[in-house]
Amino acid sequence: MNLIMFGPPGAGKGTQADLLQKKYGYAKLSTGDMLRAAVAAGTEVGLKAKAVMASGGLVSDDIMIALIRDRIAQPDCRGGFILDGFPRTLTQAEELDNMLAEEEIRLDRVIQLKVDDAKLVERITGRFSCKKCGAGYHDSFKPTRAAGVCDECGAGDFVRREDDKAETVTSRLDAYNRQTAPLLPYYASRGVLVAVDGMAEIDEVTRQIDRVVGEVEKFAKNG
Ligand code: AMP
């Protein structure tokens, strides 16, 4: 199963991609995570991406396409993958199509998480994650069970993303609305787009996505 999790920042793409990865073993390809790792490691890509990410803009198509081209060629992607945060421009979407066609890989579904802008700001500005294991939390919607202790690994250090500040969130939403949302008709015209109510509780969103995945798998089995 090859999926794209599609939606604005804060829609829950990463959360749902993590759950799908755990449940089905698909490879999760998060371009945001790849870039943050590159920034932390101080690589050439990281140096180029750092300021753009901090401003809430989009990193250049050339860099992003090269990153995904390398990653999608890895053997673990053959068992299925979930793209989280890619493509974000029409050029990226077209290049992805070319890459997949070259490798004879099918894109099964683009799952659009629909969430109102006001909700997105609230979601993004409250999120934080465990510094050690990366588990994600939210001040109001998903606090740790014990204050200051990670539910997953018991560590006590947490981090907030630099670009989750209210000032930067507006630019990120603007980039989504101007450059990324126009991809929706592109995927709708290919018959792969499915919309899911991203305003629902996390478990309910997961159930809706599971239903989509289940239908595709049933169809694949029955030919
Ligand atoms: P994310 O974690 O998906 O919200 O990504 C964080 C930041 O990384 C974005 O605000 C962009 O600056 C950059 N980024 C991630 N994926 C892409 C992409 N496909 N194209 C351009 N920039 C990206």
| Residue-level pLDDT, tens digit, the chain, 223 residues | 999 999 999 999 999 999 999 999 999 999 999 999 999 999 999 999 999 999 999 999 999 999 999 999 999 999 999 999 999 999 999 999 999 999 899 999 999 999 999 899 999 999 999 999 999 999 998 999 999 999 999 999 999 999 999 999 999 999 999 999 999 999 999 999 999 999 999 999 999 999 999 988 887 777 6
What pLDDT is stored for residue 219 in this prediction?
Answer: 79
Cα dihedral 127, 131, 133, 137, rounded to 10, equals -20
- Cα 62 to ligand 1 centre (Å): 13
- Cα 9 to ligand 1 centre (Å): 9
- The response to whether residue 12 sits with its C-beta less than 6 Å from ligand 1 reads no
Catalytic (active site) residue 13: yes
What pLDDT is stored for residue 221 in this prediction?
Answer: 74
What pLDDT is stored for residue 32 in this prediction?
Answer: 97
Q: Is residue 223 exposed (0-12), middle (13-18) or buried (19+ Cβ within 10 Å)?
A: exposed
- The response to whether residue 96 sits with its C-beta less than 6 Å from ligand 1 reads no
Cα 150 from Cα 152, distance rounded (Å): 5
What pLDDT is stored for residue 223 in this prediction?
Answer: 61
What is the residue type of 161? R
Alpha carbon 59 to its chain's center: 15
Q: Would the pTM of this model clear 0.85, i.e. be above it?
A: yes
Q: Are 173 and 120 in contact (CB under 8 A)?
A: yes
Catalytic (active site) residue 22: no
For 50, the token pair is 């750092």
